[in-house]
Structure formats: C-alpha cells, structure tokens
Amino acid sequence: MVWNTMSGFGNAERGNNPSPQRPLMTLTYRSRATSPLSETQLGDLQHAAAIRNSREGITGLMVYNDDRFFQWLEGPPASIARVWSSISRDQRHADIEALSVHSAPTRLFGKWHLRLSTGPADAVLGGVHAENAAATNVAAERLAALAIAAEPNDARVLLHAAYADFQSMSAVTELLIEPAARRLGDLWADDDCGEYEVTLGLCRLQTFLREIAVDNVQQQHAHPLVVLVAPLPGEIHMLGASLDAEALWQAGHETRIRFPSTEQALKQIVATDWFDAIDLSLSPAFTREHRADQMTHIIDAVRRASMNPSLVVIAGGRAFYDRRLSGATVHADATSTSAAHLPDDLARARRAHV
Ligand SMILES: Cc1cc2nc3c(=O)[nH]c(=O)nc-3n(C[C@H](O)[C@H](O)[C@H](O)COP(=O)(O)O)c2cc1C
C-alpha cells in the first residue's frame, strides 16, 4: 500500500511497493444543513452522489441526523480530492469541518457507493463513536510534528507524496497544510512546543509549499481581478498569505503578495496601485483574537487610502476559521476560512459588493 500509517502519505515507499493495489484514502467531515432537507431532497442528493462516487471508485457513508451531516468517504486520493472540492463548495450545507484524512488498508463500505442513514452516526458504525474516532487528522498531526523536527526532510517527503496522490493543491491545502498549521498552534497552547518552533514549522511548510506549487498551472478566468494579498501588518506568520496568493493565482486572478510591516506601508501600496480586492490575514496557527480592534482600524484606514473606493476586503486566519471573529466584526466584506475556498469567497463578496 502506498499510504501507510508510519508516514501518513507514503509516496517515499512507492518504489519498493510490491502491491499493485491503488492507494486508498479515507476522509471524514461533518457539516450543518443550510436548511432542513426533505426525504425526497435527501434521496435525490444520495442518488446523484452515488452515481458520481461509483464513477470515481469512491464508497462511503452519509449520515443525516438533526440537520447535521457526517460523511465517510473512501477511495483513491485524487478521486477523493475531486469530490471533496465539489462537496466543500456545496451551498446546501455550511460549517463544513474536515475531521480526518488518512490512508486506509481496506474499505469499510466496500459495497456502498453512498450508504445513507438518518440515525446517529455512532449507531451506523456499530457503536463506534464515529466522530470522536475520526476526529484526529492523523496525516496533518504527523506533518506538524515533522515540520518542527530537527531534520524536516520527512515533512517535505510527506507533503510531496500527498500532492502526488491528491493531484490537487486545494485538497493538500485544506486537508493537510492548514490543519497542520492549526495543530502547531495547539501544540503551543498545550505547552508542547515553543513559539519559535511554531514559526519555524510554518516557515518550513511555506518553503515546501513553494516547491510543490512550481508545477501548478494557472486557470483562465473570465473576469480576473487584481488582488493584493498580505498578512496584517505586524503579523509574523506568513503561511496563510502564501496559501491565499497561490489559490487566487491558480484560479486565474492577478495576485500581488506583499508583506508591509506597518499600516502606513500598507496604505501606501493601495494608494499607489489599483486593486479590486485585498486579502488580509492573521496567523493560520494562533487565534490572535486580541488583534481584532487593530484589524478593524487597519481595514477602515485601507479603505480610505485605496485608489478603489469599492475595494473588496476579505479577512482570514485561524481566528476566522475557529469563528472567534467574523468578517463583519473587523469591517471586512467577507471571511475566508480556507485558501481552498478563497476564490469562491471572493466571487461571492464581489457580487454582494457591486
Ligand atoms: C452533505 C453532502 C454530501 C455530498 N456527498 C457527495 C458525494 O459523496 N459524492 C458526490 O459526488 N457528491 C456529493 N455531494 C454533492 C456535491 O456537493 C456536488 O453537488 C456534486 O458532486 C456535483 O459536483 P459539481 O457541483 O462540482 O458539479 C454531496 C453534497 C452534500 C450537500
């Protein structure tokens, strides 16, 4: 098997892998229905999803209970990444939270392209506390640990292997890199590592990201926007801005990434060049709630300084992912919870703004 529990993503072993089996990956997530689904709507959703899953070689389970979804998907990583990209954009649900992603030795739902249950998830999985059992993103935890190890090469190998398996930058971003960054923040909060190590780990992830991004191809966009991407002045963690810039560029936008160290420097940038939108981010690892007032002040100042009176402002970072802050709180037009969805968030924010 290509993925193994030792390395999470085991591409490194691919050369000596005697098994002709394709790698198998399991992804679980939970979410909340944006409005309750009738039996017919649920049946239609399952029917259409099962057809596509069958084409993609995916099997799994969907539990719908009390307006909450829990889903278990298993299949080849690139198929999972494609279907995940659709699911995570689907407006029928919100508060989508990827719980786990890891290699699997075998399928649990081998006969079911999408088994549907409307009972509690635990009941369907034979009394296993499914969400709890699944709540550890093994691969992301491993990536975080490797990123702060004395020798970071295993982190590089894991990330490159994951990218080769997923064949999707947005899947690697949302399912691995961003959760690994949050994991680093949690390790710090639990006193399991120091602040310096978190910064070091994030820098290393950023370096490896650049390595895997070199082959990326930019899509054509019918209406490309000029977007300024920057960490909030004073924010030393730049991984979020790098992921955002990469995602927007790949989606076809004209992206300029800058690292202004002061509010004045940021105002200068928007006063000198035209931008349709600005993406400002806080740390992807720490919550930084205490910077809410400063962020609000800076966003107000940037709007006043901007050459574009209708500048669209998007705010991102862990505080927004954890819903400790919202875009409205800091006077932004929208909130970004993952770089993987930033191009869609930007399109929505712009439509609402115009
Ligand atoms: C809770 C939920 C679970 C879903 N599960 C699947 C699934 O397992 N497989 C699938 O192909 N589509 C699934 N969908 C539907 C996709 O979001 C999407 O509508 C469909 O795959 C078509 O893709 P497209 O919108 O990119 O064309 C699900 C949607 C929701 C709301």
For residue range 321-336, list pLDDT tens digits in order: 999 999 999 999 999 9
Backbone angles phi and psi of 64, in degrees to 5: -125, 115
pLDDT over 90 (residue 19):
no
pLDDT over 80 (residue 307):
yes
pTM of the model as a whole: 0.81
What residues contact 289, with CB distance under 8 A and at least 6 apart? 319, 324, 325
pLDDT over 90 (residue 192):
yes
Q: Are 11 and 160 in contact (CB under 8 A)?
A: yes
Place 133 in a pLDDT band, splitting at 50, 70 and 90. very low
Q: Which protein residues are within 6 Å of ligand 1, measured from CB?
A: 45, 49, 52-53, 62, 69, 71, 73, 83, 86-87, 90, 92-93, 114
Q: Are 95 and 31 in contact (CB under 8 A)?
A: yes
Q: How far is the CA of 154 from the centre of ligand 1 (A)?
A: 34
Sheet strand arrangement including 312-316: 254-257, 226-231, 277-281, 312-316, 334-336
Dist. CA 19–CA 286, nearest whole Å: 41
Q: What's residue 22's pLDDT?
A: 66
Range with lowest mean pLDDT among 12-16, 210-214, 335-339: 12-16
Percent of the chain with pLDDT over 90: 73
Q: How far is the CA of 85 from the centre of ligand 1 (A)?
A: 9
Place 7 in a pLDDT band, splitting at 50, 70 and 90. very low
Tokens representing residue 138 in the block: 């093994």
Q: How far is the CA of 50 from the centre of ligand 1 (A)?
A: 9
Alpha carbon nearest to ligand 1 atom 10, residue:
49
Q: What's residue 324's pLDDT?
A: 94
Range with lowest mean pLDDT among 128-132, 188-192, 201-205: 128-132
Q: What's residue 127's pLDDT?
A: 43
Q: Domains plus CATH for the chain?
A: 11-136 (3.30.70.100), 140-213 (no CATH), 226-353 (3.40.50.280)
Q: Is 283 left (phi over 0), alpha (psi -120 to 50) or beta?
A: beta
Q: What's residue 20's pLDDT?
A: 40
pLDDT over 50 (residue 10):
no
Q: What's residue 122's pLDDT?
A: 55
